[in-house]
């Protein structure tokens, strides 16, 4: 007489007809691990499922095996229902008898029956041998810290405060605003940068929930999602902020094209940012402006597209034509990147306004003419193949956004990965603002070049994600995971077997394994709230010290042993 109560679903006769469920039931009743076997007509029907589940739970079942459809069908739902009914998540297993067996082996009925039996047997093996990870609970500090008060940081702080969360906004310079302070007009609305932020800055000053720390840098971060202890320093004075979530909104820098295309050596060769400053002060005097795209971008050292320079150039070219009557504007480009209906319309507007577009081959960049003073360009038009000479008196270089040089240091402090260029990296493309550390979110140009509108939207997104995180009073570590329904368990290092080789710390994608001194030697310790139970540490451990109790060697080994066991 075993411990496991088995529930088999007929699936409206789908499984019955293919798998000889009655025979399997009789044999299961004789299995040494099984306490009882129930069959249900269909567990999809709420009445059926409730009746069977309550019957099984009344018998005092501690471990339940469900033979039904795949976990992505109803399997996981049924499992969750039993867990809600009071069973431990490690003690309920659903076995996929429909998609994984009945539906694909119709041509081999005997093989299908044997496989169904083996699958159930493997489920029993895993229930019998698997252990249970001990859970830990984090008490969440209902407070957020936003690093960087640019467009994305301000919008994140305003959103969080609007939702009622205390928010600390840390900015290394004296005033909020970031790069947008330097933009005279943003595309596509034409609003000025500072105007765009006025609402957010007003909110920041008005709302008592937002504390603004100017001239402050983050020095160290300790703790984990739900309870970070952040040390910030402002002019030599250190402060400790305990925050449940951290939003990284540090933005990006604009590349200064030193030594490129005559920048620095020729007069009237400027960057787009200087162009913006000229618009601010109203000193635009040129008869012909050449705007050169991809200056320093999409090159071997910076192969990415900065995404904002094309619309920016369209905007500035149009503005030159409008503000200086009789002037000409040329955009030299490799290809114009204006995705979406709004920006595409923006491009057509520029065409109508008289901006001339000349496409050049990246192999043959335009020649810059002039000594001391910029005189014009000579360029091979890639469309017509004709070499054109353009007389102009202003060259504007569209340089890309580059990662902030301080990203590397901040990444080390926060234990976040940066990509090969130096931007912060999200954990998974489907989770664009989440990082490998739960409770730390990234947004805006800190993660990738974005326009001001996108930065504001991403700030809101990160704030919503952070709010969802902060609204828990406590978070059990087993649920603290991007995985729906929680994770399989936690890895555990057995100090008796650990040799302190450090393989696990090197391979862990989440920085959950740490080497610690214990009785004079190093042993690995797993931070449970960080572990996502991927199991990479287990396969690199040379001495078998690492285990996930739910998926222990014993359990999986026994599953393999029973995978082809003859029908008993």
Residues binding other proteins (CB under 8 A): 70-73, 96, 98-101, 103-108, 111-112, 114-115, 118-119, 122, 417, 427-429, 436, 487-488, 507, 509-510, 532-536, 538-540, 544, 551, 553, 556-557, 559-561, 563-564
Cβ at position 309, least distance to other proteins in Å = 27
Nearer to other proteins, 220 or 539 (CB): 539
3-state helix, strand, coil in the chain (%, to 5): 35, 25, 40
Q: Is the dihedral of CA 234, 153, 188, 257 positive or negative?
A: positive
Token pair listed for 329: 């504007």
Cβ at position 66, least distance to other proteins in Å = 14
Report the greatest alpha carbon distance in the chain: 95
Nearer to other proteins, 134 or 419 (CB): 419
Nearer to other proteins, 67 or 366 (CB): 67
Cβ at position 270, least distance to other proteins in Å = 39
Nearer to other proteins, 121 or 203 (CB): 121
Neighbour tally for 308: CB within 10 Å:
23
Q: Where are the alpha helices (H) located in 415-478, listed in sequence order?
A: 452-470
Cβ at position 62, least distance to other proteins in Å = 22
* Tokens 């020649």 found at: 367
Cβ at position 532, least distance to other proteins in Å = 6
Token pair listed for 484: 């729906």
Nearer to other proteins, 111 or 199 (CB): 111
Q: What is the C-alpha to C-alpha distance for residues 165 and 210, in angstroms, rounded to an integer?
A: 9
| Residues recorded for the chain | 568
Nearer to other proteins, 280 or 497 (CB): 497
Token pair listed for 222: 């300790």
Question: In angstroms, how far is CA 537 from the centroid of its own chain?
Answer: 22
Q: DSSP labels for 518-554?
A: ETTEEEEEE-TTT-----HHHHH-TTS-EE-GGG-HH
Cβ at position 254, least distance to other proteins in Å = 29
Tell which residue, 212, 18, 217, has the closest CA to residue 117. Answer: 18
Nearer to other proteins, 527 or 556 (CB): 556
Q: What is the C-alpha to C-alpha distance for residues 258 and 479, in angstroms, rounded to an integer?
A: 50
In a 3-state reduction of DSSP, which class is residue 488?
coil
Nearer to other proteins, 458 or 503 (CB): 503
Q: Please list the residues that pair with 248 across neighbouring strands.
A: 147, 442
Cβ at position 440, least distance to other proteins in Å = 14
Cβ at position 167, least distance to other proteins in Å = 29
Token pair listed for 282: 């109203």
In a 3-state reduction of DSSP, which class is residue 230?
strand
What residues contact residue 508 under an 8 Å CB cut-off, 6+ apart?
A: 536, 537
Cβ at position 425, least distance to other proteins in Å = 8
Cβ at position 54, least distance to other proteins in Å = 28
Nearer to other proteins, 392 or 555 (CB): 555
Asked whether 212 and 204 are in contact (CB, 8 A), the reply is: yes
Nearer to other proteins, 345 or 506 (CB): 506
Q: E strand or H helix at 196, and its extent?
A: helix 193-206
Q: What is the C-alpha to C-alpha distance for residues 161 and 466, in angstroms, rounded to an integer?
A: 12
Asked whether 431 and 532 are in contact (CB, 8 A), the reply is: no
Cβ at position 105, least distance to other proteins in Å = 4
Nearer to other proteins, 93 or 446 (CB): 93
Cβ at position 542, least distance to other proteins in Å = 10
What residues contact residue 489 under an 8 Å CB cut-off, 6+ apart?
A: 90, 132, 133, 478, 533, 548, 549, 550, 551
Nearer to other proteins, 96 or 166 (CB): 96
């Amino acid at each position: 007489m075993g411990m496991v109560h088995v529930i088999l679903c007929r699936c409206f006769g789908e499984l019955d007809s293919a798998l000889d469920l009655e025979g399997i039931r009789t044999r299961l009743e004789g299995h040494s691990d099984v306490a009882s076997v129930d069959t249900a007509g269909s567990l999809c029907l709420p009445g059926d499922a409730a009746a069977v589940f309550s019957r099984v739970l009344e018998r005092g079942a501690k471990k339940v095996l469900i033979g039904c459809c795949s976990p992505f069908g109803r399997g996981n739902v049924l499992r969750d229902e039993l867990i809600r009914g009071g069973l431990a998540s490690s003690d309920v297993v659903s076995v996929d008898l429909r998609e994984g067996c009945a539906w694909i082996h119709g041509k081999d009925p005997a093989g299908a029956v044997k496989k169904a039996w083996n699958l159930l047997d493997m489920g029993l093996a895993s229930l019998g041998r698997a252990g249970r990870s001990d859970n830990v609970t984090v008490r969440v500090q209902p407070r957020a810290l936003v690093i960087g008060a640019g467009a994305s940081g301000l919008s994140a702080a305003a959103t969080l405060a609007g939702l009622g969360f205390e928010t600390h906004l840390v900015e290394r310079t004296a005033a909020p605003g970031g790069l947008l302070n330097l933009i005279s007009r943003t595309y596509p609305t034409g609003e000025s940068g500072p105007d765009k932020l006025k609402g957010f800055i007003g909110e920041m000053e008005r709302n008592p929930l937002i504390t603004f720390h100017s001239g402050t840098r983050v020095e160290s971060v300790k703790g984990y999602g739900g309870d970070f202890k952040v040390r910030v320093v402002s002019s030599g004075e250190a402060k400790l902020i305990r925050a449940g979530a951290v939003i990284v909104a540090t933005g990006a820098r604009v590349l200064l094209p030193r030594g490129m295309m005559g920048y620095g050596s020729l007069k009237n060769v400027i960057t787009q940012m200087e162009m913006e400053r000229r618009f601010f002060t109203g000193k635009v005097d040129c008869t012909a402006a050449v705007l050169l795209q991809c200056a320093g971008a999409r090159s071997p050292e910076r192969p990415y597209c900065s995404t904002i320079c094309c619309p920016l150039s369209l905007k500035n070219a149009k503005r030159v034509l409008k503000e200086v009557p009789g002037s000409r504007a040329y955009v030299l480009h490799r290809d114009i990147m204006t995705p979406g209906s709004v920006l595409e319309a923006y491009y057509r507007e520029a065409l109508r306004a008289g901006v001339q577009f000349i496409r050049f081959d990246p192999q043959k960049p335009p020649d810059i003419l002039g000594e001391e003073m910029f005189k014009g360009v000579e360029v091979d038009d890639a469309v017509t193949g004709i070499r054109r000479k353009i007389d102009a008196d202003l060259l504007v270089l569209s340089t890309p956004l580059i990662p902030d040089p301080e990203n590397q240091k901040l990444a080390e402090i926060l234990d976040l990965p940066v990509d090969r260029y130096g931007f912060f990296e999200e954990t998974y493309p489907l989770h664009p603002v989440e990082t490998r550390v739960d409770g730390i979110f990234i947004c805006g140009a800190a993660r990738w070049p974005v326009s001001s509108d996108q930065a504001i939207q991403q700030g809101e997104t990160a704030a919503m994600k952070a709010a969802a995180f902060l609204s828990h009073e406590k978070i059990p570590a087993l649920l603290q995971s991007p995985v729906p329904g929680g994770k399989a368990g936690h890895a555990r290092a057995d100090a008796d077997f650990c040799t302190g080789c450090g393989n696990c710390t090197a391979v862990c994608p989440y920085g959950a394994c740490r080497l610690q001194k214990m009785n004079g030697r190093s042993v690995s310790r797993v931070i449970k709230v960080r572990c996502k139970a991927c199991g990479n540490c287990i396969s690199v451990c040379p001495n078998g010290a690492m285990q996930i109790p739910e998926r222990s060697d014993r359990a999986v080994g026994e599953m393999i042993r029973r995978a082809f066991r003859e029908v008993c």
